[in-house]
Chains A and B, each alone.
Chain A
Amino acid sequence: MSKYALKPDELKKEFEQKKPRILKGDLAGKEWWDLPVEFRDGNWCFPGKPEVLEEIGLPNPRKWAATDEDWKLPAGWENTIRDGMKSRLKRFRSFKLFMDTCVRCGACADKCHFFLGTGDPKNMPVLRAELIRSVYRNDFTLLSKLLKSFSGSRTLTPEVIKEWHMYFNQCTECRRCSVFCPMGIDTAEITMMARELLNLIGVNNNWILAPVANCNRTGNHLGIEPHTFEQNIMSLVDDIEELTGVTVNPTFNRKGAEILFITPSGDVFGDPGVYTMMGYLLLFHHIGLDYTISTYASEGGNFGMFTSNEMMKKLNAKMYHEAKRLGVKWILGGECGHMWRVVHQYMETMNGPADFLEEPVSPITGTKFTNAKSTRMVHIAEFTADLIKHGKLRLDPKRNDHLRTTFHDSCNIARGMGMFDEPRYVLNKVCNVFHEMPENTIREQTFCCGSGSGLNAEEFMDMRMRGGFPRANAVSYVREKHKVDSLVTICAIDRASLPTLMRYWNPGVNVYGLHELVGNALVMEGEKKRTEDLREDPMAGFGEGADDE
């Protein structure tokens, strides 16, 4: 080392004298991490129930709450976290890279919807990552440990764990910040690692773990048993018949079908997801698709992604297992967000290669989906866009004239897959009124619904309303400017959470799945006169006495 270089003690002294002090008032002179963490009603999610943890074999099952002073962490929890970090730094190169490379430029700071909605500095992605980087530096880099104050290192304490739990559960893994990061840091992956580490010591979220346990047991997040799953869909078949006069014929667990269709279970059980399911059923009937639905691989979503890589892999495995068992050629996937991040970015390397499947080819148009060559799974929006492009659908967009639409890009589809145009193409073919929200709130810059990554818990409602504020604000803009009253999206969590967000911030705006509008617009062979949409709301200009031709 050069004789001119400062010695560590001198460097530390100089830094202490010169470093900027931004905290004022009672916190003057303190470090940023000394800002208190306070759990209150509305800003934390209930922890995993002991029986849920036991069911899926996660450690430290117990009754506790974030507001408790003592979180009943297991003996030796510090070593568990350190060993967990060590193992993950070795196994996940991205994690190691993201711990080392941030230059604190701040480009990400005001891109996070939780920071914009709460103003809490620890919700700036750079600072959220620092929550874990500060421990990483202390425990895994010698120089930083020696220059503790200079490097921003700190010791792992129960307060740090509380802070992690607070802020890594105020990140929806939407990756908007990563779009603006000049170093390419994906904060979502940092959050994923942090949540994995917290799960090692039993610090968790029941809204994530209960669906994981359900999915592990029955194949879907809602814990629907196979017979109920089928009955629900058949009940929607009855609704379709009543509304359109057409009887659609979905099949279940049918060996030898050409295509296996998998969608989030919210489409089979929840409102408004079921209307999107009706749209799929009408579409498949319209084109005479040879498909089947599995009551085992009955969930497109994967809350394992918010728990651990191992859990994500386990829950995802059923898709390929079932495709193999049924002998289908390829898989078609419904409208979902994080499902597509798992499928598009992890499935092939986690549970593939799926050599037993074929490169997807549309049986109707002959289009080869070369982009799905490795996963063998196609997104329904590109499948439908291709059908429309080839003139295979008989559509009457006037049937959606009672809706004035805008489109919410779902984070994982937009930023995780780069799919922006296909859903817009479909939407513009099935409805006549469409207006974009402002440029910096759509496509790759889309704002999250504020409830993704397993944060859609009721008890977290206040924070969800604040995190969803930037999205609601953009909808408010097109509502005032263009009288938009319908927010269309292609994500099941959006369909569950955006109605709530809209009702709070923009009353009068309803939320629709893209294929619900496709279902409205489809002119089916042998249909009766349509006067109502799939929700049984009257269509404009199609009432009694009106001529719909």
Chain B
Amino acid sequence: MSMRMRLMASAAALAAALAATAGSARATDLTFVWHAGTCADALTTIAKDYPDKSVRIVPALVPYGPQWHDKIASEFAIQGDAFDFAMWDSQSTAEFAQHAVKLNEIFDKSSYLKADIFPAASLSRYGEYPDGSGEFFGLPANQDAYGLTYRKDLFEDPKEKEAFKAKYGRDLVVPQTYQDAKQVAEFFTRPDKGLYGWGQMGGRDYDFATTASNSFLWSFGGELYNPQTMEVKGYLDSPASVDGVQAYVDMFKFGPPGSTNWGFDEVNTAIQQGQVAMAMQWFYFNGSNVDPKVSKFADKIGFAVLPGAIGRDKKFRRQFSVGGQGMGINKYSKKLPELTKFMEWYFQPEQQKRYAAVCQTGLKAVLDSPDWQGLNSYNRQFSTALQYLNDYWHLPEYPVLLDELQQEISNAATGAKTVQQALSDAAEKNERTLERAGYEIKRGDKAPEVPDQVISPVGVDAVVPVE
């Protein structure tokens, strides 16, 4: 090759390299913040097939927990655009709404992205603020609920069934009430064989302990507060709330030692190692729990809706924590048109069906389709679970209220305080926080013993089984 040819070839290569660089520089990056995991990976994988190749979806993932909340909050605090959209917890909508794009404006302009493509309850749960206002700041991108996982091999074993019946005089079935669950958990607790009856989170981090304890508290008829009067005292420490949290604390007797410090990782490990006969866990993690590559008991795990409870008013209630995240848009992002187009594509049934194979979509068309429930072994239970969801305070002071409650529930779980003392202290702290934030607490004469009769639908007279 002559020198002239070499020079020409080099120039051509340089030009091609520059053109490629210029091409990538023109690409629009839409960055999203979420906690790392199966669902963030699913979104990233699906987004790779977005037809407009000038747009790239870039994940900025953080571990689940306070770092995730703090990353979003810090960016909003400096009114920055380091991310364009983010998935945040349903209860964070109140805190982040003033920094997020009001989605009603997008619903008005878009030909596809409308409020009615999502179930009304889901849209409200993951994006409405204030409650009942009809103003939305998040789309139900990833629904989730607390659920029950159990070892089918144990529950279906004739010897176990016989032994259980002999001991308790009733059939061994997946429990419908926490009172039943306590007996089943006790029956399967065999520390000498490395088997325990119940696994649940009790850790101090983020919302670990309280998502679990709230599920008990609500089912026994308790409440975190009265949103009409803003009273916490008399509600959070009501007799029904104490009953619920006491039932939660009692279940640690049937868990592995040290489970008062557990987060979701430890619960998953216990499920995947077959260490617990039953466990409270988010549906979010079921993909990995039935994956034979990570779960020794993948083919032996069954799924059910969490139990309810018969409260001191003899009514049956079933309520548990909502999980999952809404997808909100950073209002300081300069890429709203590109983002809207991407969302119009991403929330099409074709993409959401792919997402629903591993995680929980909020798109009505997919949820209503007959094949959705058969996409995996837990969607059928998940669709039932959606009816029983309850949530934390939808207030901007959520992180402070949560931390105060976490602290006291952790104190109760570890025995540092009695349940009554812990809830009274939490109520005191929560009211102080609300007062400092400027809320007026209208004190009623006397809070009811079972406050759920006032705020949420009342319980029913008989246990309603869920198959």
Is the A/B pair a real complex?
no
